[in-house]
Each structure stands twice: as C-alpha cells, then as structure tokens.
Amino acid sequence: MLEGLKVIEMATYIAAPGAGGILADWGADVIKVEPLSGCPMRYTMQNVGADHLKGSPIFDLDNRGKKGLAIDTSKPEGVEAVKRLVKDADIFITNVRPGGLERAGLDYESLKTVNPRLVYASVTGYGLEGPDRDRPGFDIAAFYARSGVGWLQTVKGKEPTTLRTGIGDHTTSMATVGGILAAIFEREKTGKGRLVEASLLRAGIYAAGSDTAVQLRYGKLGSTKSRHEALMPISNFFKTKDTWIVIVPRQGTVDWTAVCRAIGRPELETDERFDNPKKRRANAAELVDILDAAFAAHDVDYWRAKLDAEDIIWAPLMRPGDVFEDPQAHAAGAYVKVPEEDGSGTYLAPASPIRFPGFDDTPKSASPALGQHTLETLKSHGFSDAEIESLRASGAIK
C-alpha cells in the first residue's frame, strides 16, 4: 500500500523503530541507520531459552522488512552520508534527543534545507520543547509513570506494578504512523513536508484521556479501587474454577438483571441490599463475595455459555500463549509469518495493528543484520567506490 515511499529511520529501541516497522509492513522502503555498535535492542532477550535461534524477538518485531545500514553519525562524514540519503527520501524518523540532532546538523531545520518535501518524525520521551526536551525517556518512565497512566493502574494503598515491555512504546509507534501519514496527505496538497512531533508523554496522557478529561473538567478524580471496593461491583474480575474473567456491564440496570439470571440468583435483583446502583456500591464487598462464590463453582466454558446467552460483555483473562490458541485472534489476522534470517523457512510474529482486507501485509524479509545493506544502499544512492572507501577510512562505516 505504501510502495514508493522511502523512509530513512535513524532510531534505536522501540517506539520510533516500531513506527518504521509498521510502514515497512505496509510496503514502504525503510532504510534503518544504526550506530556501528548496533541498536541495543538487538541484544535484548537474545536466544533466551532457545540456543538454536538467532536474534532478538523484540528487535525483530520492529525491524523486519527493513534495510540495515551502520553509520557513525558522530563523525562529519557519517552525517553527510545520512544527508545524501535524505535528499530523495519521503520520511525521516528519529528518536535521537533534540540537542544531539541539532549539534550534528540532523534536526528538522537542517534537513528541510536538504529536502523541503521531507516529512520529519521526531519521537522523544517528553517532546521538543520545555526543560525536559533532552531528558532520556523510556516508556515506563515517560508514558506510564509521568503521564498518570501508572497511577491510574495502581490500586489505592497498593504498590505500583510495572509496565510490560514496549506497551507504551508501541502505542506511541501507532500514533506516530498516524501523524506521518497525515503529513504525507498534506504534502500531496502543498508540496511541502513538515515536522511531526510524537512523545511518549503526550501519547500516555492521551491513552489515559478519558480519566484525564474528568480530572481537567471537574478538578478531581477517583482513585483505582480494589475488587471489593468497586463503584460498580459487577464491573469486575471474577475467578472461575479454572481462570479469571472480566465482566463489563453497560449503563443502566439491564446487565445487573442479566448477571443475576446468569449465575442462577434472580432473587438478587430485588434484594434490598442490591436493588439499585447506590446500594450495590454501598454493599460492594458483600456483593463481590456472593459473585465470587457463584463464579468459582464452574469453569470458564460453563460461564461462556451462560454469559453469552445473556449477551453480557465479558472476556477471559488470557496468557499470550493461550491467546495464540484462540481462533478469534487468528481470524482477526493478529499473526504473520516472517522469513527466517537464513531463508530456511518462516516463524510467526505479531502482525501490525491494522488490517487491510485484500492486502498482503506479510513481511518480505527478516530484520537486517547490523550493517547488512550498508554498501549496496550507498552505491544505489550514487556513492562511488572511492567515496565509500573514504567513509570507511574515516571510521564512519566499517
């Protein structure tokens, strides 16, 4: 779908490479520029528990289908090489801190003089302005802790829980792709590129936007309650005989009636302790105990039939390994086959987040080895053998 779009990605870790990875899945030509030491994610979770496998699944997810270059942009020769690559590019993606880009001459103001049509996507922890513009920021810090998401996820009086790898990063990746493609659409009308600014902090604040909107509008916000203190006791997690499930009631009383029928306790609907929302809230602990006892009596298959018969919104709490066994995940196109590095076959990995029925979003190649395509890419962009040798002699490439 994006064939013909050329992307230069000068980024490490997850959030910015994730955006480039989605564009690559959708057909863009993505050239990844790494430092000579490589992206640190190449060496994260590498071969853990699987000595026969190569690479890192975390790195491979965000970098499949790209061409890999290794260039030292701390050297003037490396900077000039990147600028030559940018001359005919459509998109430039980076998560290098703003100050470093300005010192190197790879910030937006510098590159737009090289290519006025360039859509330049900056992905940072905290944005391009303000006192923390150059502060390093991983997703658990900028997206989760500082945005308010972590506080919202913490039950009052309990210790905070951590954020699993890349959740905030990949949320930011998706937002970045949206911003890039909006700028590409604008360029079709104006002929000019623009700066696209994404940050983990802003993405986190938006991800928590429903609660944040309440805070901004009313000046206060309720804390996250324990299961037995829930404002809506049936909007909760319950343990069946074999797993946890979550129930999400709609507004009004229709689902209260339905839950009472589903658990075989229709008399609870008119019980004076629970016959309206205020009473259910006041007696939440008692009601949750009653519901816990009911759900614990049967396994999830039993409750699937009962809850579905009442058209109740619910879902089992599933491990990723169990999700893979869920036929609905496959029907939704949640997994794709990725070529092995050595061409020996394919392996399964998560698909990009959007499906285009009729379009083949299967990655065309594995993630590149460090510097795998440096020489061929430089040559295809007009670098002579002498220029390439000069880059090697300066230490800008190996």
Query: Do the domain assignments include residue 296?
Result: yes
Residues 103 and 188 in one domain: yes
- What confidence tens digit (pLDDT) does each residue in 12-63 have? 999 999 999 999 999 999 999 999 999 999 998 765 555 556 779 999 999 9
Q: Can you give the pLDDT at residue 344? A: 85
Residues 140 and 32 in one domain: yes
Query: Do the domain assignments include residue 71?
Result: yes
CA-to-CA dists, residue 371 to 9, 21, 140, 184, 397, angstroms: 13, 17, 30, 28, 9
Residues 279 and 362 in one domain: no
Query: Do the domain assignments include residue 197?
Result: yes
Last residue of a domain, one of 317, 346, 376: 317
Query: Do the domain assignments include residue 51?
Result: yes
- What confidence tens digit (pLDDT) does each residue in 318-344 have? 999 999 999 999 999 999 999 998 888
Cα separation, 196 vs 311, in Å, equals 43
Angle 20-25-26 from CA coordinates, rounded to 5°: 95
* Residues 30 and 3: beta-carbon distance below 8 Å: no
The CATH number covering residue 112 comes to 3.40.50.10540
CA-to-CA dists, residue 38 to 365, 388, 394, angstroms: 19, 20, 18
Q: What's CA 363's distance to the chain center, in Å?
A: 18
Query: Do the domain assignments include residue 352?
Result: yes
Residues 337 and 276 in one domain: no
Query: Do the domain assignments include residue 324?
Result: no
Query: Do the domain assignments include residue 227?
Result: no
Last residue of a domain, one of 280, 295, 317: 317
Residues 198 and 302 in one domain: no
Q: Can you give the pLDDT at residue 355? A: 93
**Residue closest to 310 by CA, chosen among 270, 250, 357, 360:** 250
Q: Can you give the pLDDT at residue 50? A: 56
Query: Do the domain assignments include residue 322?
Result: no
Report percent pLDDT > 70 for the chain. Answer: 98
Residues 195 and 96 in one domain: yes
Q: What's CA 181's distance to the chain center, in Å?
A: 17
Average pLDDT on 370-388 reads: 97
Average pLDDT on 363-367 reads: 94
pTM equals 0.94
Which residue's structure tokens are 């190996």? 398
Residues 47 and 153 in one domain: yes
Residues 56 and 189 in one domain: yes
Residues 111 and 254 in one domain: no
- What confidence tens digit (pLDDT) does each residue in 207-223 have? 999 999 999 999 999 99
Average pLDDT on 107-123 reads: 98
How is the beta sheet containing 67-70 ordered, strand by strand? 67-70, 29-34, 6-10, 91-94, 119-124, 195-199
Q: Residue 153 is part of which domain span?
A: 6-210+330-394
Last residue of a domain, one of 261, 289, 317: 317
Bridge-based pairing of strands 119-124 and 195-199 is parallel
Average pLDDT on 67-74 reads: 98
Residues 287 and 334 in one domain: no
Residues 183 and 288 in one domain: no
How much is the mean pLDDT over the chain? 95
Residues 127 and 188 in one domain: yes
The domain tally of the chain equals 2
**Residue closest to 230 by CA, chosen among 159, 280, 292, 167:** 280
